[in-house]
Amino acid sequence: MESYIRFADRLSAWFGKVFAWCVMVMTLGVGYEVVVRYLFRAPTPWAFDLSYMMYGTMFMMAGAYTLSRDGHVRGDFVYRLWRPRTQASVELVLYFLFFFPGVIALVFSGWRYASRSWRYLEVSTMSPANIPIYQFKTVIIAAGILLVIQGIAQVFRCIITIRAGAWPRPEEDVEELEDLLQKEGMAALDPTHHAEPEAPR
């Protein structure tokens, strides 16, 4: 189970970090549009399509990566008070009740949606440029498959936690800026202070 968790986490991280570059493409496209629209009075017919396709692709393909790092929004005002075994037991049930049925439905409906789009080579109706968008519909299927792979890893995490009584340590990754600033502030106030590694979850 632990080897599968490492495999799924690394796969999700690879895709998440690769598709994070979509934000650069989107930024360059929108920046170019602003310059030519307001300085040269020559707006592009494609910038709007580029921005929503890049944003949607980045959002979808980062879903599994966010799940692997426990970064999705959670109403944890009760959850955080539970012991790890209780947390894992509830999560395990919820994965099978809600997560997997929803994600599998996403894959199958995405397959029908994308295959229909590929059949008639769908173009965007949001602008006069007729930008091809059929290839981006395939992202729905890819994102769903990645979520299924990562969801299995999350189930294994729950099983390990139920057995061991503690969540397995996550892989090292980027940290939130406020966490880094807090650690630096603590170190500045107390030079002898060494920040303890945070418990997962």
Q: What is the pLDDT of residues 89-143, one digit of tens each?
A: 999 999 999 999 999 999 999 999 999 999 999 998 887 888 899 999 999 999 9
**Residue 123, in any domain of the structure:** yes
**Residue 197, in any domain of the structure:** no
**Residue 156, in any domain of the structure:** yes
**Residue 196, in any domain of the structure:** no
Distances 128 to 30, 37, 44, 114, 198 between C-alpha atoms, Å = 17, 16, 10, 22, 52
**Residue 175, in any domain of the structure:** yes
Host domain of residue 29: 2-189
**Residue 200, in any domain of the structure:** no
pLDDT given for residue 195 in this prediction: 52
- Answer positive or negative: Cα dihedral of 134, 138, 143, 144: positive
**Residue 170, in any domain of the structure:** yes
Number of folded domains that form the chain: 1
Whether the Cβ atoms of residue 201 and residue 87 lie closer than 8 Å to each other: yes
**Residue 199, in any domain of the structure:** no
